[in-house]
Every structure is written in C-alpha cells, then in structure tokens.
Amino acid sequence: MPSSVIVYSPDEIRGRIISKTLQVKGIKNLLFTSHFEAEEAINKRPPPVIILDTKKNLASELNFLKTLSNNLLKTTLIVLSNPSDVPVLEEMGIDMVLCIPDPFDPELIFLKARDALAREFSMKSFARVLKQAVLRASRFFFRSLRIIIILAIGLAGGYIYWCISTLPKIGVLDNYSPYEASRVYSYDNKLLTEFYVERRTFIPHEKIPKHVIKAFLAVEDKRFYRHHGVDFIRIISALIKNIRERGFVQGGSTITQQLAKMLFLKPEKTITRKIKEIVLSIQIEGKYTKDEILGLYLNQAYFGTRAYGIEAASQAYFGKSTADINISEAALLAALPKAPSKYSPFKDPKGAFRRRNHVLKRMLVTGFISKKEYKKSLTEPIPDRFHGRKYKAPYFVDYCRTILEDKYGDRLYTSGLKIYTTLDYRMQRIAENAIKNGIKDLQKRGITGVQAALLAIDPKTGWIKAMVGGTNFWDSQFNRVTQAERQPGSAFKPIVYLTALNNGFKPDSTIRDKMFTYVLTNEEGTWTPQNYHDVYRGVVTLKTALALSLNAATVDLAKKVKIKNIIKTAKLVGIKSSIHPFYPSALGASEMTLMEIVYAYAALAYGSRVGPMCIDRIIDREQLALVGPSGTKERVINKKALTGIRQMLRAVILQGTARKARVINRKVYGKTGTTNDYADAWFIGFDDKMVAGVWVGRDGRAPIGENETGARVALPIWIEFMKNL
Amino acid sequence: MGIKDLFKSGPSVEVMGDRDIDVPAEPINENQKIVDRLMPSRKKEETRSIKGPIGIDIGTVNIVVAQSRGKDIKAVRQLNAFFTIPYSNITRKTLSRDEIMFFEKNEKLYILGYSAEEFASTFGGDTRKPVESGLLNPKERESISVIKALISRFIREPVKNNEKICFSVPGEPIDRPASVIFHESIIKMHLKSLGYYPIAINEGMAVILSELTGNNFTGIGISMGGGMCNVCLSYLSVPVVTYSIQKGGDYIDKMVGSSVGEMAAKVKAVKEDGFDLSIEPRDRIEIGLHIFYDDLFSTLAQSLQQVLGSSDNIPRFSKPLPIVLSGGTVMPRGCKEKFEKALTEVRLPVTISEILVAEKPLFATAKGALTMAITEDSEI
Ligand SMILES: Nc1ncnc2c1ncn2[C@@H]1O[C@H](COP(=O)(O)OP(=O)(O)OP(=O)(O)O)[C@@H](O)[C@H]1O
Ligand SMILES: [Mg+2]
C-alpha cells in the first residue's frame, strides 16, 4: 500500500515524532527532513495529505509552501508553525483549520490528518460498497424487499453518494483512537477535572468470557449471529414508526450499526446519518467476522463514568479485569451502554438492580444461562463504589457532565475542549466545609448516617456557584441537590404568602391562627393542621404567621387564596414538580428538589425567574468559543409583592424561627423548613448577591432525630456558609 | 563460577503487536530468560559461537554483552578495568595457561576484567579504567587499546558479515563540556574492523527499549551507572531529549569515603552488600550513603527540571509518563522512594505517572541495545 501521508520537517526529532505517531495509529507515511527529497517524492506521487513543519524556519519554507498550495489541488496541506507565524500563514491564504501552531501536539496532528484522509472517499470504493450492498440485499431477502431496496438505491443513489462521501474510512478506523482530554475549570480558574477517555485497554474478542458476550447478545441484538450487518426487519419497522412520528428517533440499530454509530464523532439523528451508518455497517461486516465485530463493539462502547470499552468499565465498576467478572456483573455491564447514566449503579442503585435482573432474565429466557446460575446471580449485590480517579467538586462536575454529554456526546471526552463553569471554587470549599462541620455537630449529638446538601446560586444570572450533593460523593453519587425529591415543609410557605400578596393581601393583613379540621377533597378523611409548639394565637398578621411558621394560619390563608392559585404561583417561580391540589401542599407536602426550591427563592428574592446555568463558556481546540452564556430571565413578580415578601422573609430572621442567623452582620433573608417526624430539615435564604439552600435528612426518609428542626440542623450550615463568603 | 540464572522471574521482553515501532521482528517470547555469565574468559566459545545481532553496553564499571539464544537472552558481564604488570616470559606463560584475559604492549602485560581486580588486590594497588565518566578515559594513554582488547575478547568476528551490533553511548553531559563523538567513533571503527555493522544507541533510550515495551516506548529512561547518569525522554521510541550528568555510583563512593575517612573501595563494598535505603542508617558509612544518594537523586531531579524545562521539542503527551530507573546504582532497595521524594521538590513540564525500577538494573542497557540491533536487522 502506498503511503498516504508525506511528512516534511527540517527538525528531525519533530519529524520523527509526527511520523511515528501516525504510524502507530495506522496511517502510513514517509518522513523527509530535506527539501529536495520531499519535493521529489511529492512530485513523483502526490499524496492525499502533506504535513509541513515550518516551525524551525518559516522564511526558508515559504516558497515551498506556495508551490505546494498552488500546484496540488487535491492534496490537503497541514501546516505546523510557530504561534507567532500564524498571521503570515493566514495572509498567504493557508486554510486556518489546517494550520496547527505550537504547542507541539502529535495527537492533534494525527486527528487532522485522519480527518483529511477520511474525506478522501474515492469513487472506486463507493462502487464496491454499492455492489456489495445490492448483492447482500438480493442474497438474503425476499424478492419484493429486494426490489424495493434496489429501487430505493436507484432513486436515492445520488443522495447516498453524497452521504457516504463524508463517511469515515474504515481502514483508518482500525486504529480509531481520537482522544484529547477536555478540561473543566471553575469560574476562578481552578482545574476541577479532566473529561477524558480512559486509556482504552483493548482486549481481543477471544479473551472476553463467553458469559459476558452472551449477556450483551441477550439485550442488544439477539439476531446478531444470523443477520447481516443491517437488520432489515428492524430498520423497516423503525422506518414505519418514523413515518408515523415524522421524525427520526427510533433506534432499530444492530450491534454492527451501533459500532458504526460510535465511529462518528457527533451524535445526530437524521436520515443522512442513518444511511451513512448502514453503508458503514455493510463495510464493517464485509471486513470483519462477527466475533471481531462484537469485540470491537465491546471495546468501543461507552459504559458511563468515563469508561470507554469493556475493560475500562470492568475496572471502573468492579475494580477487576473483564476476564474475571461473573455472570451478574456481566449482566450489569450489558445494561449500561443503552443509557449509561440512567442505569448507573452509583446514581440509581435500585434502577440498576432492576435493569440487571432484567438482563439476567433475558439470559435465562434465551437459554444462555441455567436456572441455577440465574437464581444465584439474582442475589448478587451491585457495586456501590467507584474505582477510579477522584476529582474536585464532584457532584457539580457530574451534573455538568450529564448536561454536556447530551449536547456534545463523545466530543466531550475527545476533542480537548476547555470548559469554564460557573462554579466558584472558593465558595465550593466553604460549602463543603460547612456541610462537613454540620454533620460533625450532628454526630456529637449521637446522630449518624445523615445526608446533607447545599446549593448556592447567583439569582441575577442563574449561575451555580457552589453545589454539594451529599456528604461523600465517592460513597454515593446520588445528587441530593438535583435528584432527591423531598417534601419542602415550611420552606414552601413563602409561595403561599406570595400568592396572597399577589391577591391584595399585605404583610400586615390578618388571618386566623386557630385549630381547624378540614375535609380533604381527594381523599375521604379529615385533616387538622397543628402548629409546631401547639400554641395558637388567634388573629395574626401574615408577617408574624410566616416568621413563626404557623401552620394553622398558613392553611387558613391557603383556603382564602385558593390552592389552585398557589400552584400557579409555584409554576411561575419555576417549580416543575407537580403540586397536589390539596391543603397539605400549602405546608410543603408535595415533593420537589432542593434545586427547584433554591431557584424559586431566587425569583422570590429578585422578582425574576432564572434557570440553572453551570457553564460559562466552552473553548475548543481552535480557540473558538462554542457556547456563550445564554440564560433566560423573566420578570414574574411585581414590585409591591416583591417588597412585601422580602420584608416577611426578613422578619423570619429578625423575630422568627431563624433568629440564629442574626450573627451574620449583613441583611439576610430566608425560611426554615421541617417535615413530619423530622425527616427533612431545610433552610433556604439569600442576601443581596446570592441565594443558598441547605437540606439535611436521610436517604431512606427515616427521622433525623427528635427535635432536629430546620432551624437546628440546616440553618447552622447555611450560616457557616454565608458567614464565610 | 558457573552459569547463573539471574532471571528467574518470568518474561523480560514482551511480545508486541505488529504495528508497534522498533520492535524485534522475531519477538523473543514469554519463556525468555537472560543468562548471566560472570567469567567468560574460561569458556569464550559460548559467546562467540552464537549467530545473530548483539547488544553491548560499554560502561564505566562494567561491560555487558547481550545476545538472544533461542528463547533466552544471554547476557555476559565483565569488569571494564585493567591492571599492568611488567613483562616477563614466565608470567606471560602462566597467564596463558590459566586462561586469564590479557594482552602485551610496550614491555607490559595488561590484565583485563575481573582478573585485573584480583591482581590489583594481590599486588596492593588500584585497577585502572579505560572508561571514565562514560567516555574513553583521556588520562589513560592506552585506553583505546584496552577497550579494543576487551571488546575483542568478548566477541570475535561475526559468522555473517555485517552482523548488526548495537552499542550504548552516553548523552552529552550537561555539567561538563565533553563530546561523545570521539568515544562513539572509536568504538564504531573498532566494531567495523571486526566485521560488524555498528549502531549507536543512547544509553537512556536503551533502558526504555528494554523496560517500557508496555507503554509504547514512551516515557523517561534513566540509567544510573558508575560514572554517570544517563537520561532520555522518549515519545513512541523517538528520543526527544537526551543528556547525562557526570555523577554516579563512583561519586557516591568517593564522597562518602572522604567524608567519613574510609577508602572508597570499602564504601563500595558496603554499598553493594545488601545496603538498604529504605531503612534507617546504622553507622557512619550508611549515613554517608544516605546523604550522597539523596544528593545524587536531587541533582538528577534538578537536571530534569532544567533540561526538560528549556527544551522546546517536547510534545504534548496525552497521558502521564512513567520514569524507569536502571543501572547498578539503583540496586539498593528504597531508590524508587528516594527519587520520588526528590521529584516532589521540582516542577517538570510533563506529568509523571509512576516510577519503575528495571527488573535487572545491571543488564537493561545491554538488553535494550540488543532489541535495537534485532530491530535494525529485521528492517533491512
Ligand atoms: N548491589 C549494588 N548496590 C549498590 N550499587 C551497586 C550494586 N551493584 C553495582 N552497584 C554500583 O553500580 C555501578 C555500576 O553500575 P553499571 O554497571 O550500571 O554502570 P556502568 O554502566 O558500568 O557505568 P556508566 O553507565 O556510568 O558508564 C557502580 O557504581 C557500582 O558500585
Ligand atoms: Mg551504564
């Protein structure tokens, strides 16, 4: 095979580094360190790609460069240079996408070369692929189907040609390994972590245990060994479904197609893409055996927690090699590629458990395992500890990752992005310490096994400044800021009072604080809301009722303003969880996340609703910004109501349940929350720059401890955080 | 002394995939062993009768020759030293009868290798060295003749003309102006005259070829020998940065000796006799050894900072690099930890993943040179 790339560098070491990198990654190339020889070789047989290194002496390469870029129209010219020479090259009309200034990055050079080669899809191989497709189709499918396909190919020929002219070339993909880590920074420029592809430890298919392969076949693609690359039955049914839904969302992919899909960098769901995948699948099937394909697939697939490939996944989840995992572990892994974060045992242990058992069931049904093996595997626990590298602000980083993965897919791990987040690492540290100390205080009182979470945001922009999703990420990755749905208790009350202010009430309007029995609309039964100290004050102002968190008075008010209006207000300030239309909801009986409440308070505090933002900007390898800040902001509360609610939330601090917070010598506002049996303790509050919320409780919803209220448990954490800012 | 099987612990050269770089064409496989013979003078035929490429490490203290023999690597070690005694016919005959390595020149008999040490202790003197600080010793007039003689005693004419032989050369010293060209050319010429096709390899690079097969020959190789420390940063087997510092085991012996008032030879004997850097020193010599090992590692770490920091050829590495230590000086336990500590005191432009110690520090350079010779052989 002739060399597809010519490397020219007058600096021998740089030249050898580039040449070797390409060679190791499967791109044949010739290296020249002298002008004369390089020119001779290029003239003899112009290669599709030339890499030209001008770092050492641009001046003496200029002529060479000009001749090359003028004479070789079909050749892609990649130019390496000193950063300071870039303007000169740009002036000359060198394609800036193909100009790579130092720092010297051989992997990046390889990526560019590979991309350039991938564009080189010759007419010749196109013809071969088409012939193959037709042959395969005619050999294996009913006559009618064949006619349809041939017709389709005939009609869509030009279109398909266009599609596959941008197809990755599979020869090159033998050594597919495009990776440069993306780096994640805090707003104050602290490196939080790197998103990278775990060094893909390739394990050959014959070294993967049989039961592991079977686990995957059981869920992914039962017909794998029978069909030929593209499962036409699936594709047809997917097509029908798509026509019905007028979109292209249905999967219908075989393992080969999923492999083909992985070979593309960007996730997109279009017909064009689908056709590319099909053609690539056929090519792959022509080149590799079924076992090799399955091996490739298992080595490429993404299993969550940064693990690409089955070996990395075995290591990450079980701390051992693929060769050593048992049936139940294999079943868990087989469940992951479909939805790596959804079925992650660290995020949703119960879901992962169910899903794994589903896979085991399938293995049993398909006869891959015996009844005995099945029974035994069902009882195995799922892993609860991550065996990988640790990083800073982990809950936040993981939250960002989920968001970014949706948007950038694989690129997140491979394209060397610089991701600047909104997190303020200094505040994050303060938050983490505050949580730690809060938990310590509880331990001193003999209370253990309690979880806590904190979220701090900038209410003007929606930027997340600090996020602690639990006491120890490495024990439990369940994020109690974004994922735990809990009853907010009295922390919900400000929404009731805001509804009142919007409906003509004033902070000193009066309501009745009296024991009263209500008949619940939805259920048969009655309900008697009681005040915390069982003291009832008769007639009170709204302000006092909120400050002292009087339940009886609040329900009286809710009755007056109507529960449906309260629900409306809740939606307006951004609560997405559903609020049940009965009175207990006024006392915070409907579950929601800490994140929802904190953003609702941001609206309460400033009158405008903002959405959560965790990314400030992303810079790609070419130093281009991929996203800028794009938060939406909507005014939802009028001036008068805003002044009223702030005044009332200030009273909570000055005269109410959160008097402890007076130690902070600036104006702070907020509200405590405690739920039945002390299962949840809350404090949500703000000053003029920041909204922060703290939740304390147990994952299993058992009581924290007798008399452990929001004021006693959550407030001190909040105070420590706000005081130290 | 008989043949010692020094390499009991399994494979020493891994079999590698076909698209790897400079790899032996006929990979020596899993059961491979390296056999060490300390006294080749008794049975010279063994080395000579074997065909195929050769790796040779010409060090300040030792000369090591490595060759593959079937599935094993055979390595032979000799002292790179000589001792002269006045010429007399009787002495010459005795020497010949006892199969002692020697040659005669200018009315003198030059005893070579281990025998030189024996003679030196009997006659109450010091051995002399043809190589000092890694290079031909300019203070010895006969250094060239001695080195030639030693090499010729090890290896005779090759069975096949232009057989590949790869020999190690030090990197340019950063702490003293000296050129390796002279040294390299003399050895090259001599090997050529014997009928070989000589290839030079940087000593640090040889360590990488020997020890970092599993990491695609990417990392930092350091050979800490008697006269110097050789460093090489390699990217996929391309030596990107190479240099040496002229401090090594001899320096430690000398400095400890003069600090505690003992002979360097005594210090050396203590050092080589199971001395352990990971436990507290028990006497003055051991204290001295600790101090000057620290000193050497610290010099080494600083030199890394200085040289790597000022090089503009270092590519971006997609993952942290391993460092592998080799050479006789890293034989004591605890070297890895000492070096690790010294590294925390400096800032390097590359991140280090781990520090490894060669499996057989005295033979890694020769083994790497052999790998190189085999690769070159298969490429043509
Ligand atoms: N067991 C041991 N413990 C400590 N040091 C040892 C041991 N064995 C040998 N050495 C030391 O190792 C050094 C010799 O090592 P090596 O054979 O690697 O050097 P060399 O290759 O001859 O020298 P150079 O590479 O500097 O030219 C000597 O200083 C010797 O004292
Ligand atoms: Mg040496």
Mark whether A458 and A574 lie in a shared domain.
yes
What pLDDT, on a 0 to 100 scale, did the predictor assign at position A628? 54
- Closest in B21, B237, B315 to A106, CB measured: B315
Q: Which of A3, A4, A476, A490 is flagged as catalytic?
A: A490
CB neighbourhood size of A289 (10 A): 10
CATH fold of B213-357: Nucleotidyltransferase; domain 5 (3.30.420)
pLDDT mean over B212-223: 93
DSSP string, A20-65: HHHHHTT--EEEE-SHHHHHHHHHHS--SEEEEE-SS-HHHHHHHH
- Closest in B19, B313, B316 to A24, CB measured: B19
Q: Which of A61, A198, A220, A596 is flagged as catalytic?
A: A220
Min Cα separation B318/chain A (Å): 6
For CATH 3.30.420.40, list the domain ranges present in chain B. Answer: 3-212+362-379, 213-357
What pLDDT, on a 0 to 100 scale, did the predictor assign at position A505? 95
Min Cα separation B316/chain A (Å): 5
Q: Give the phi and the psi of residue B40 in degrees, each rounded to 5.
A: -70, -20
Question: Which CATH number fits the domain that encloses residue A205?
Answer: 1.10.3810.10
C-alpha separations of B363 from A211, A621, B74, B206, B232 in Å: 44, 44, 10, 10, 17
The alpha carbon of residue A589 and the mean position of all alpha carbons in its chain are separated, in whole angstroms, by 30
Which of B:20-39 have CB within 8 Å of A? 20-21
**Considering only A421-435, A676-690, B20-34, B151-165, which range has the smallest mean pLDDT?**
B20-34
Mark whether A245 and A100 lie in a shared domain.
no
What ipTM goes with this model? Answer: 0.80
In a domain, A157, yes or no: no
Q: Give the residue, B342 or B133, on which the prediction is more confident.
A: B342
What pLDDT, on a 0 to 100 scale, did the predictor assign at position B300? 96
Boundary residue ending a domain (A119, A146, A165):
A119
Mark whether A511 and A611 lie in a shared domain.
yes
C-beta separation of A428 from A229 below 8 A: no
User: Cβ separation of A199 and B237 shorter than 8 Å?
Assistant: no
Q: CA A594 to CA A608: how far, in whole Å?
A: 19
A108 touches chain B (CB under 8 A): yes
In a domain, A103, yes or no: yes
Residues of B in contact with A26 (CB under 8 A): 19
Boundary residue ending a domain (A65, A99, A119):
A119
The helix/strand/coil state of A220 is helix
Question: What residue type is assigned to position A688 of the chain?
Answer: D
Q: DSSP alpha helices (H): ranges in A379-424? A: 394-408, 411-414
Boundary residue ending a domain (A60, A91, A119):
A119
What pLDDT, on a 0 to 100 scale, did the predictor assign at position B352? 93
C-beta separation of A439 from A451 below 8 A: no
What pLDDT, on a 0 to 100 scale, did the predictor assign at position A122? 38
Mark whether A109 and A223 lie in a shared domain.
no
What pLDDT, on a 0 to 100 scale, did the predictor assign at position A198? 54
Selected for mutation to probe chain A from B316, B353, B375 (highest A CB count within 10 Å) is B316
C-beta separation of B215 from B199 below 8 A: no
Beta-bridge mates of residue A691: A457, A686
Residues of chain A where predicted confidence (pLDDT) is lower than 50: 1, 121-131, 134-144, 146-147, 150, 154-178, 242-251, 265-266
Mark whether A344 and A460 lie in a shared domain.
no
A82 touches chain B (CB under 8 A): no
What pLDDT, on a 0 to 100 scale, did the predictor assign at position B159? 81
Query: What is the tens place of the pLDDT at every residue in B304-347?
Result: 999 998 888 899 888 899 999 999 999 999 999 999 999 999 98
CA-nearest residue for atom 21, ligand 1, is: B59
C-beta separation of A584 from A496 below 8 A: no
Q: Which residues surround ligand 2, an ion (CB under 5 A)?
A: B 59, 225
A104 touches chain B (CB under 8 A): yes
Ligand 1 contact, B67 CB (< 6 A): no
Query: What is the tens place of the pLDDT at every residue in A92-101?
Result: 777 777 888 8
Tell me whether residue A490 is one of the annotated catalytic residues: yes
Query: What is the tens place of the pLDDT at every residue in A496-536?
Result: 999 999 999 999 999 999 988 888 766 667 888 999 888 99
Superfamily of domain B3-212+362-379: ATPase, nucleotide binding domain (3.30.420.40)
Mark whether A370 and A457 lie in a shared domain.
no
The closest ligand to the CA of B363 turns out to be 1
Mark whether A440 and A373 lie in a shared domain.
no
In a domain, A160, yes or no: no
- Cβ neighbors of A73 (< 8 A, separation 6 or more) are none
Beta-bridge mates of residue B355: B323
Angle at A512 between CA A509 and CA A518, to 5 degrees: 130
Strands B72-79 and B34-37: parallel
Question: Which CATH number fits the domain that encloses residue A61?
Answer: 3.40.50.2300
B139 touches chain A (CB under 8 A): no
Mark whether A370 and A460 lie in a shared domain.
no
The closest ligand to the CA of B133 turns out to be 1
**Domains of chain A: total:** 3
C-beta separation of A483 from A442 below 8 A: no
Min Cα separation A309/chain B (Å): 18
Q: CA A599 to CA A455: how far, in whole Å?
A: 10
DSSP state of B128: B
What pLDDT, on a 0 to 100 scale, did the predictor assign at position A337? 81
What pLDDT, on a 0 to 100 scale, did the predictor assign at position A176? 39
B237 touches chain A (CB under 8 A): yes
CA-based nearest residue in chain A for residue B320 = A199
Q: CA B51 to CA B195: how far, in whole Å?
A: 13
Where in the sequence is the domain holding A668, given as residue range(s)? 433-724
